[in-house]
Every structure is written in structure tokens, then in C-alpha cells.
Amino acid sequence: MQEIATPLEPENIASIHSGLQKVFEVSAFLNYPFTLDEVANYFLPGLNVTGQQLGSLFAGGNFVDIPFQIEDRYLLTHAVQSETLRLERQQFSAAKLHSAGELARVLKRMIPFIRTIAVTGSVAYRSAGKWDDIDLFVVTKRNRLWLSLFMAIILVRIWKSLRLRPSHLLSFCLSYVHDERGFAEDSLRNQANPLFARELLLAEPVVGEDRYRKLLERNDWVGELYPNPYGSKLTQLEHSLESRETEHSRHVGPLALALDLAEEITFTLLSRYLRVRAYLTNLRLRSQGLEFRIFEPKTTRASCVYTSNFYRWLHSIWGQR
């Protein structure tokens, strides 16, 4: 899809400058260089600038106070960053994404209530290090989140115990799980949030691609912030192999009532267990000095989301336009 850029008025350049300062801070922290096109498409929400325009602005002497070094369209923050380092991270990310796809297909077959599974976080950004978690974004049928999550946790543990892959490819984290109602509520709360929009747009669906595409279509405000990648993503998913996916049969009568009761019991017990496990995990992370990895579980009947200190930091940078 051809990029369409708006004229760069002085206020646009000021906004680009502000956005680039944020990119520099995050890129330096992650030790991961972004390209001009990536910055233009995903880190300057609502500006509709192209990578070529961004390069021209740098060449024209703009943004000299931000110490980027440009090499082969990569924005480097310091000498340690390089294309070689980035390629290594991309290879780790590709391997982790493949591993997630294998697990996700098993989960989809074994758990009838799952609608879509996507990979988010550093793996989706292609910036994952060897031991980074593989964050899974899961949407389930309404009122079946906790039964699905319970079965998924058991299957993930069995999958890890089989050791079919090296341990760094088995670091799965069910960090963002909603039922259909829970995701609709969360996306409504985060409407016009650039960070939420970018995470949704960069998510890599590994099963239920058609369902994921529908989530994007229902949140068309994402396209107002990131028009070019939004249009490209929808086109990419338009002819998904799963576009003819059929609905699972609906449960009615006594079976539906039994499932509703099981869902309620599972929510009560599993949500408490996850809070205790999160507390113990955070104690260990704090003792290791890994403050940014400490997280808070937020559980409701429709959602189970882990919000890390790292995500909070990103939200402080990009949570508002």
C-alpha cells in the first residue's frame, strides 16, 4: 500500500520531535534500533509521516539535539547498537513466534471456547532477547474465560514438560486474556490510546486470524492513529485461511447451566491462585533486582491481564496523544 503523507507544518515537526525523543529513550533502554519506516508508521501516531520524509528531516538538520546516528535507514542510539544485533533479536523472535504457533494450535484444538490467540510484546516487535517471555493474547467465547484459562495453564505446563523445544522457546506467558465482552470493554476504555492501538496492531495472530481481523475492524479508530500499517494489516488478513471458520455449536439447557456454574467456581479459585502466584513471583523478581518485570494481575469475570512495570513505563510515555 502506497504511503500518503500530510504536509509537514511547523506543528507537525514539533510533534515529530517530541515523538523522536520518546523513541530514543525506549530504543536506548531496549538496546534495539528501529528503522525510519518503523518509527514513521508506529511511533508517531496521528502524524501520517513517511520514513522518507523523516529521513529528509534528519538530513536537513532537524532534530540535531536528539543524538541518533542513521546507518542504512536504522536509527542508532549508541555505538553498541547495530544491524547485526537487530538481526539476532529478529531470529530469536521468529523462533519464539513459531514455537507459539505450535502451542496455540494445540490450545485451539483442545479448548473449544478459544476464539483467537496472538503473540504480543517483544516477540511481536521482533525485538525479543533469548530469554524474553512469549506473551500470549487470548480472546475466548463470552463467559468462558476462566474455564479456558484453567485448561490452557494445564496444557502449557504439559507442553513445557515434554521439552519438545529448547527452554528459551517455551517461556509462554498468558499475559492478556479476555472473553469477547472483556476485550470489547478494554478496547473501549483505551480508545485513542496510542500504546494500546500499537500493541493491537502489531500483535501476531497465530490461530483465529479471522477473529483477530474482526477485532481490528471493530476498532477502526486504530486506523486514525496508524493509517498505513492499519490498512496493510487488514489487507494482509483479508484472505486468511480461517476466514471460513465455523462457529462451535452453542450449548443450551442443562449443559449451559453446568458450564456457567463451572465457570463461576473456576473464576473464584483460579483468580485467587493467580494472585498468590503473582505475589511469590514478584518477590523473586524484586530480590533479583528485576523491577521492570514486576507485574500486577488484574482479574475480573471477563478479563485476566498482567500489567508489568515496564508496560506502565511505556504507558507513561505513549499512553496519551
Q: Let me know if residue 77 belongs to a domain.
A: yes
Answer whether residue 199 is part of any domain.
yes
Domain-terminating residue out of 22, 57, 81? 81
What letter does residue 170 receive in the DSSP assignment?
A: -
3 in a structural domain: no
Distances (CA, A) of 293 to 108, 137, 252: 28, 18, 43
pLDDT for residue 8: 66
Same domain, 42 and 179: no
Nearest CA-CA partner of 299 in 189, 182, 141, 173: 182
> Which pLDDT does position 320 carry in this prediction?
73
* pTM: predicted TM-score of the whole model, two decimal places: 0.92
* Domain shared by 202 and 244, yes or no: yes
- Mean pLDDT in the chain? 92
Rounded average pLDDT over 254-278: 96
State whether residue 72 is helix, strand or coil: coil
Question: Tell me: the pLDDT tens digits for 267-293?
Answer: 999 999 999 999 999 999 999 999 999
Residue 122 domain-assigned? yes
The answer, yes or no, to whether residue 1 has pLDDT greater than 50, is: no
Q: Is residue 26 part of a domain?
A: yes
Claim to verify: residue 155 and residue 296 sit in the same structural domain: yes
Same domain, yes or no, for 255 and 133? yes
**Domain co-membership, 61 together with 97:** no
Distance CA(208)–CA(118), nearest Å, equals 8
Residue 294 in grid coordinates: 514486576
pLDDT higher than 90, residue 252? no
208 and 241 housed in the same domain: yes
pLDDT band at 94 (very low <50, low <70, confident <90, very high): very high
Instruction: Confirm whether 245 is domain-assigned.
Output: yes
Q: Are residues 176 and 228 in the same domain?
A: yes
C-alpha–C-alpha distance, residues 221 and 123, integer Å: 24
The boundaries of the domain holding residue 43 are 10-81
pLDDT band at 254 (very low <50, low <70, confident <90, very high): confident
Q: Judge whether 59 lies within some domain.
A: yes
Contacting residues for 118 by C-beta, under 8 A, at least 6 apart? 124, 136, 137, 203, 204, 205, 206, 212
- 195, 253: one domain: yes
pLDDT for the residue numbered 250: 63
Same domain, 59 and 204: no
Residue type, 257: L
Residues 156 and 102 in one domain: yes
Residue 4 lies in a domain: no
Q: How many domains does the chain have?
A: 2
For the stretch 208-231, pLDDT in tens is 999 999 999 999 999 999 999 999
77 shares a domain with 164: no
For 297, the 3-state DSSP assignment is strand
One domain for residues 204 and 125: yes
DSSP symbols for 237-277: HTT-TTTTPPPPPPP-THHHHHHHHHHHHHHHHHHHHHHHH
pLDDT of residue 243: 44
- Rounded Cα distance between 236 and 252, Å, is 37
Query: What backbone phi and psi angles, to 5 degrees, belong to 297?
Result: -80, 130
